[in-house]
Amino acid sequence: MATLPAAEIRRAVRQGLEEDLPHGDATTTSLFPAPVPARAEILAQQPLVVAGMAAAVQTFLMVDPSLRITVSTRDGDRAKNNDLLLRIEGDGRSILQAERVALNFLQHLSGIATLTQRFCHAVRDYPVRILDTRKTLPGWRALQKWAVSLGGGINHRRSLSDGILIKDNHLALLRDHRRPVERACRSASTRSSHTLPIIVEVESLAEVRQALAGKPDIILLDNMVPDMVRRAVAIIKKRALVEVSGGITLKNVRAMAAAGADRISIGALTHSAPAATISLAMTLARPSRRRRS
């Protein structure tokens, strides 16, 4: 499971609070001129994989270090409907100011982790890995890819520097050359670091054969139906790893795994994961009365 540096969490939290509180909280300030003792509970409203807890805690503490926080579930834990995730006690004004940013982290990242787990569960009987892509929100890539790992997925390239992935638009610039897929693979092998894997995207069985001649590490079958994937796997014969991508859903991912894919990369893990349903409920904290002796 990938780790998320504390500095990355602080950066994201600071950016979120600067965005949401550029000049303070006008509503809370107008209603409560003095501290208001309060308690709040953050609850799961669906089964989910928890992600974003560390960021949520950091959000509350960055707004008000005096808040008292009790963590009931940690990042990577599984939670059921109505499970308590987090309890916060202290000045209600501070809780209100941090609420939306903290929930944004929890809802969005838990949604990614939960969807990833569903995909991994769907192919659990096959020796295949579920991968993410670079289809992430600007500035949130480290967070989103971390959430994928919490759900059991594997991180693909974190940036353009992490591997060679020859895609359709690279090949479009080589169309004047004979056998552009093979040429691209050979060129990448000659001119790049040998520590970087070479992946080439193909869209037909003819391009699969060209790719094999270029000897890439991974052949990415783009937007192919399971039957064509099966035929491509038979042609490749383990001379390269087989990755499948494009149009992957929970309805067809198992068929892709059964067709022989080694890796299945899914952009929807990060760009289309539904936010998890998580709520914050707050109450006024009344001081306890001491019994008279």
> Cβ neighbours of residue 154 under 8 Å, at least 6 residues apart?
129, 130, 131, 132, 148, 263
Task: Give the distance from CA 179 to its chain's centroid.
Answer: 36
- Active site includes 237? no
Burial letters 234-262, b for 16+ CB under 10 A, else e: eebeeebbbbbbeebeeebbbebbebbbb
Assigned token pair, 37: 């003792």
Catalytic residue among 89, 222, 230, 231: 222
- Active site includes 207? no
Q: Confirm if 155 and 131 have CB atoms less than 8 A apart.
A: yes
Assigned token pair, 175: 């169309």
Which amino acid appears at position 183 of this protein? R
Catalytic residue among 25, 201, 243, 262: 201
- Per-residue DSSP letter, 68: E
SS3 percent helix, strand, coil of the chain, rounded to 5, is 40, 20, 40
Which amino acid appears at position 139 of this protein? G
Catalytic residue among 11, 87, 135, 231: 135
Catalytic residue among 14, 68, 74, 100: 100
Catalytic residue among 14, 74, 167, 239: 167
With tokens 């970087």, the residue in question is 196
Cα 75 to Cα 14: distance, rounded to the nearest angstrom: 20
- Active site includes 89? no
> Cβ neighbours of residue 7 under 8 Å, at least 6 residues apart?
none
Cα 244 to Cα 237: distance, rounded to the nearest angstrom: 15
Which amino acid appears at position 32 of this protein? F
Cα 293 to Cα 291: distance, rounded to the nearest angstrom: 6
- Active site includes 167? yes
CA-based end-to-end distance of the chain: 56
- Active site includes 64? no
Residues with a known catalytic role: 100, 135, 167, 201, 222
